[in-house]
Amino acid sequence: MENNKSGMTLFVKTSSRLVAVLGLIFGMHIILHGHLAPGGGFAGGVIIALSFVLLILAFGKDAALSKLSLKLASNLENVGALLFLIIGLLGFSGGAFFLNVLVKGSPFRLFSAGTIPLNNVVIGLKVGVGLFVIFLTLVILEKSKKEQ
């Protein structure tokens, strides 16, 4: 962040630093309230990916990679896919694949609906990190082309 050469001007950097944090919090809110309000894992995951994309566009590739490297991102994506499968397999303890085995709770509360909030969190992790990996691969390709 101290390196002022890479990335855009000071105004863009200062404002995007604020907006990226707000976007991250908003994405988490959308994911966690997916079973109560419009939204859910897909939309929240894409919003989280967009906040990281904003960091890349404002600060350049290296500053964003120091927060979340490509290897860590792809590992997190694999973990998301595996966790979704494991939650599906948990349903076998009740007798069927993807059965809602946890306690339902009362509707209109944050902790209700059994496995659906867990599934939302896992899907949000998978989609967000996956789209971030796609964008990062495109950016790294552009950079390597310029160096040659």
Partner 1 sequence: MSTYLLCLVLFCIGLYGLLRKRNLVKIIVGLAIMGYSVNLFFVLLGYRLHGRAPIDAPDQVIENMVDPLPQAVVLTSIVIGLGVMALLISLAIRIYEKHGTLDITKIRKLKG
Partner 2 sequence: MELHILLIFMIFAAILAIEVKDLLSSVIAMAAVGFALCLAFLILKAPDLAITQLVVELLCLIILIKATIKKDLPLVIEGRWLFNTVSTLVFIIVFLFFSYIAMKELPVFGNPTMGLVRRYLLEEGVNKTGAVNIVSAVILDFRAYDTLGEVAVLFTSIIGIMAILRRKGRKEILEEDTNGK
Which residues make up the interface to partner 1 (CB under 8 A)? 37-38, 40, 42, 46, 107-108, 127, 131, 134, 137-138, 141, 145
- Residue 53's binding partner among partner 1, partner 2, none (Cβ under 5 to 8 angstroms by kind) is partner 2
**Beta carbon nearer to partner 1, 2 or 142:** 142
Tell me the closest approach of the beta carbon of residue 2 to partner 2, in angstroms.
26
**Beta carbon nearer to partner 1, 46 or 101:** 46
Q: Is residue 6 within 8 Å of residue 62, measured between CB atoms?
A: yes
**Beta carbon nearer to partner 2, 11 or 97:** 97
- Residue 28's binding partner among partner 1, partner 2, none (Cβ under 5 to 8 angstroms by kind) is none
- Which positions touch partner 2 (CB under 8 A)? 30, 34-43, 46-47, 49-50, 53, 57, 74, 77, 81, 84-85, 88, 97-98, 100, 104-108, 112-116, 119-120, 123, 126-127, 130-131, 133-135, 137-142, 144
Query: Residue 60 CA to chain centroid, in angstroms?
Result: 20
Tell me the closest approach of the beta carbon of residue 126 to partner 2, in angstroms.
6
Residue 19: which of 52, 61, 62, 66 has the closest Cα?
A: 52
d(C-alpha 2, C-alpha 136), whole Å: 22
d(C-alpha 113, C-alpha 107), whole Å: 7
Q: Is residue 54 within 8 Å of residue 139, measured between CB atoms?
A: no
Residue 124 vs residues 12, 17, 49: alpha-carbon distances, Å: 28, 22, 10
Q: Compute the half-sphere exposure of residue 119: CA atoms within 13 Å on the CB side of its CA.
A: 19
**Beta carbon nearer to partner 2, 4 or 133:** 133
